[in-house]
Amino acid sequence: MPRKGSVIERATLADRLLHAITPEQVADVMLESDPALAAPGTCVLWSDNWPHAITSYPSPCLEPCVLAAAHAALQEWRERATQSATTQVLCDKDGATAVLHLPAANDALPASGLQAAGARMAEVLAIQRLHGTVAQLAQAEHLQRALFAIADMAGSNLDMPDMLRGLHRIVGELMYAENFYIALYNEADGNIRFLYFVDSVDAAGPTAGEEFPLDRIRHGPTWWTIHERKPWMGTTEQLQAQIPGPLNIHGADSHDWLGVPMLRDGQVRGVMVVQSYLPDVTFSSTDMALLGFVGEHILTALERKQGQAELERRVEERTAQLAETNEELRQEVAERQRGERLQSALYQIAALASVDESSERFFRHVHAVVSDLINADNFYIALLSGDGSTLEFPYRVDRNAPHSAARPLGRGLTEYTLRSGRAQLVDGREAARSLIEAGEIDEGYIDSPTACWLGVPLIGTESCIGVVAVQSYTPDVRYDQRDAELLTFVSYQLASSIQRRRAADALLTSHIRLEERVEERTLELREQIAVREQIEAQLQHQVMHDPLTGLPNRLYLRDRVERAIAGVRRNEERRFALLYLDVDRFKIINDSLGHLAGDQVLQEVARRLGECVREPDVVARLSGDEFALLLEDAPVPQTASKVAQRVLEALKRPLLVNAHELHTSASIGIAIGDRRYQTTDELLRDADIALYRAKSAGRQRFVMFDDSLQRNAMDVLGLEQELREALAAGQFEPYFQPLVRLADSMAVGYEALVRWHHPQRGVLLPGEFLRVAEDSGQIEAIDWQMYNMACTAGAALVRDGGFITINVSPRHFQNEDLDERLLAVTSETGFDPAKLRIEVTEGTLLGDPAAVAKVLQRLRVACIEAALDDFGTGYSSLGYVHRFPLKMIKIDQSFVAPLGQEDSPRSLAVIGAILALARSLGLEVVAEGIETEQQLRILRDMGCVFGQGYFFGRPQPAGHWLALREARTAEIVA
């Protein structure tokens, strides 16, 4: 048997502690490891959030005296670093605390075993805290997905029953909700309406859509929830103890009941309830809070759905009204067209009456006019003789009946029309037979093949002077009352024309009537012209104004600016101003709330801008979120500045869009119009340059254009050309900054950073030219030149070990051959790929996660590892970091800088969490921006292994670090 405390026994205890993965297991191993710890009453107390949620082993041992002794021993340890005789502090770090309680003092305690158990207990508690954090994040993510699903349902095309079933399903995913109902309460009439009711026991419960007075369930749990405006939870007995009054159970009595009110502006709009009839299924306060939170979103979804249904109903009603109006307009248009054709026919006949031509030609023209109105293949005109005894046929076209010049009056259809004095329509043989039987006509006067006959009397000034008639011999050609009306109108004009031909007086009368009709038609045409002019004015307004905001558009603004410039030419003392405005972060509003919300924001911005100016100043919308204000009279620049300040103050006021309170701001560029401007484009260009400077300076401000801004804009163009020349001349050089091991400050690698050896300006840092390189598209060429030089110059730095890191921008991951090109660079320079690492930002990972992960995996296969730069400043989370094949994460210097200052606790918490995350994922951690000895000491005590910063050295060429290394080697040898 090995001696107690021997190496073998310690190895066995360490092995058992390493296999213990819970605080209970660690405590069990520790208590069994030595007989001195086996006395009755010995226990271990721990918590990962001391003094809250304290647990003990063996359990239960949480007696008040034991807890008091543990708190006292922990306080003594923290103040004096001394241990109590009966209570030993095993670990106390970052809230993770464990205490060993002994029933009596014992000097034979194994110090090494307690120290190992305390270290393991600290690790297990840290892991337990991480698991708890992950569980909380998972629960929050699950709740967020549920809220997103509720919002999606509210905006979907689902009808109300399907949406309610979907809401039930979502609530069931968050908690036990087999028995669930939603009821809306109308405070105005005191009624409650059950939108949805599902109950596995209560089959006699209310049906979906049922509405009745709330007093019907008076003093029930639902009644109390609405009446008291607060949630209730528990069994019937527990509810009775909580509710301030009698409790009546309506329906089946559940084992556990949970109901929450759905409130809007402090008023109860409804109630949502879940019930359990199972003894082993109960609800907690967490369920109550969760159901109340979800209830607010469900109420919003229901209100949106009901509002959508009401809107659809109104749209349907309005559509039906518009359809009815459209049909009436269509009929009116048809009547107008028919009237226009008739009017045209009448005009033609009237015109024929004044033409000096033969009667044959006159009647032939009349026939042609009638043929344009109705079918007149068989047509004739019959006139009474002067003595009224004979029918004369001055014109007749008929494919069956022979043409006769005249015949005595008889009992035919023509004579019947003359006698009646009105239009006669004889449709078919049966109609003719009825007239024969009535004695109105004789059968001998009827043409046997006639299928339909229509005759209209020609009524003169005193009596009927004749008949105009058409007839059909085929069943497919029929006449109706509308044809009779048309032919009647024609007959009037025809009779008038005939009479004008018969007498001069009749002709004069006809001219007077024609002039009256011309006046009526002229008035109608004038009205049509007025309508057309109104339409043209409306079109002109639409062309010159923005349809969304109603403001003048760019075209209108250019016209006004050109007038203002012309005014300055006439009077050189005159000044005006142009304010070019851009709404800050408008794209975020569009992307997060949708374009409809964005349109509402633009309309409100337009309204507020209108309040900031006066006549004759102009507010115009140019495009998107860009606006312009033209101040017609700005004698001094301060006038424009005051207006710009008014605009900033007006836009600073919050605005409400779709229940979201938004805070907007704007960047403004100002150009003062004077005699130096000859064109509108020059003025717009200078205002735009000033706007760009305002946005670059931090937004929510205005900048007045001056000549220096123009020169700066020209400097950017010059810098772009100098960058091209620098690429060709090889003026870029890699500088290296060491990454060190914090334990001994030895360099383990170097980060390659670009520097530009400008011929006139000296060494330029990246901030002085990279933005211009990005905008001009030269950044990729600079990067690849840098990668080649970094591998060439850095090879000597890592000859004996270590690595070189290079920064890779998101732009490179848009090319699928990034890994192939990097390997080609290492092959060309002879650099070992295993000593090369790339640094990427969090934005790179989130751009196209799947594609980036594939590229990083291929690089890992080729022995090129990846490091995540500026960790904690972007959008990374546990859900993203573990998806990518990373070797290292670099803590952003914004978390390192506060160390040792008053606001360092937050940074300590973040850095501790990052270190714990990295250890659990097997990642290396580098702390960036170390500049002081105190920062180094704190990071080293927290367990951070690697660091980087000016404390260890500023970026220098490779030769600097090689010379420094040789000097240190020489000192060691000496």
The position carrying tokens 């020609």 is 458
b/e map 12-49, b = 16+ CB within 10 Å = ebbebbeebeebbbbbbbbbebbeebeeeebbbbbbbe
> How many Cβ atoms are within 10 Å of 533's Cβ, its own excluded?
10
Element (DSSP H or E) covering residue 960: helix 958-973
Closest by CA to 666, choosing from 756, 581, 750, is 581
Contact between 958 and 736 under an 8 Å Cβ cutoff? The reply is yes
The position carrying tokens 């000491």 is 937
CA distances to 98, 154, 160, 262, 267 from 301, in Å = 48, 5, 11, 12, 17
C-alpha to C-alpha distance for 956 and 734, rounded to whole angstroms: 8
Exposure on the CB side of residue 98, measured as CA atoms within 13 A: 25
Contact between 631 and 643 under an 8 Å Cβ cutoff? The reply is yes
Residue spans of beta strands (DSSP E) within 815-974: 836-840, 865-871, 888-891, 924-927, 946-947
> What phi, psi does 88 have (nearest 5°)?
-110, 130
C-alpha to C-alpha distance for 234 and 939, rounded to whole angstroms: 50
> How many Cβ atoms are within 10 Å of 739's Cβ, its own excluded?
26
Contact between 83 and 63 under an 8 Å Cβ cutoff? The reply is no
Residue type, 778: Q
150, 155, 157, 163 alpha-carbon torsion, rounded to 10°: 20
Concatenating the DSSP letter of every residue in 82-103 gives ---SSEEEEEEETTEEEEEE-S
b/e map 203-230, b = 16+ CB within 10 Å = eebbeeeeeeebeebeebbbbbbbbeee
Q: Could you tell me which residues are beta bridge partners of residue 744?
A: none
DSSP label at residue 833:
G
Q: In the β-sheet with 626-631, what is the strand arrangement from edge to edge? A: 618-623, 626-631, 576-583, 666-673, 701-704
Closest by CA to 247, choosing from 228, 269, 268, is 228
Would residue 863 be called left, alpha or beta, if left means φ above 0 and alpha means ψ between -120 and 50 degrees? left
Contact between 113 and 137 under an 8 Å Cβ cutoff? The reply is no
CA distances to 413, 430, 459 from 470, in Å = 12, 18, 17
The position carrying tokens 């509210």 is 154
- Give the list of residues 6+ apart from residue 554 with CB closer than 8 angstroms, or none: 620, 622, 623
Q: Is 567 exposed, middle or buried (0-12, 13-18, 19+ CB in 10 A)?
A: middle
Q: Could you tell me which residues are beta bridge partners of residue 704?
A: 670
Element (DSSP H or E) covering residue 749: strand 746-758
655, 660, 663, 669 alpha-carbon torsion, rounded to 10°: -80
With both helix axes pointing from N to C terminus, report the angle between 285-353 and 504-544 in degrees, rounded to the nearest 10: 150
> What phi, psi does 181 have (nearest 5°)?
-150, 155
Residue type, 538: Q
Q: Is 932 exposed, middle or buried (0-12, 13-18, 19+ CB in 10 A)?
A: middle
pLDDT at 870: 79
C-alpha to C-alpha distance for 160 and 124, rounded to whole angstroms: 50
Find the angle CA(305)-CA(307)-CA(309) to the nearest 5 degrees.
Answer: 70
C-alpha to C-alpha distance for 391 and 430, rounded to whole angstroms: 26
Would residue 955 be called left, alpha or beta, if left means φ above 0 and alpha means ψ between -120 and 50 degrees? beta
> What phi, psi does 273 have (nearest 5°)?
-135, 140
Residue type, 738: P
What residue spans of 103-246 are helical by DSSP H? 111-155, 160-174, 221-228, 236-242
Query: Pairing relation of β-strands 746-758 and 803-807?
Result: parallel
Low-confidence ranges of the chain (pLDDT < 70): 1-11, 59-61, 108, 143, 146-158, 350, 352-357, 402-403, 447-448, 502-510, 540, 707-718, 847, 873-880, 903, 974
DSSP label at residue 35:
G
C-alpha to C-alpha distance for 891 and 885, rounded to whole angstroms: 18
Contact between 284 and 259 under an 8 Å Cβ cutoff? The reply is no
pLDDT at 8: 40
Concatenating the DSSP letter of every residue in 370-384 gives HHHHS--SSEEEEEE
163, 165, 167, 173 alpha-carbon torsion, rounded to 10°: -150
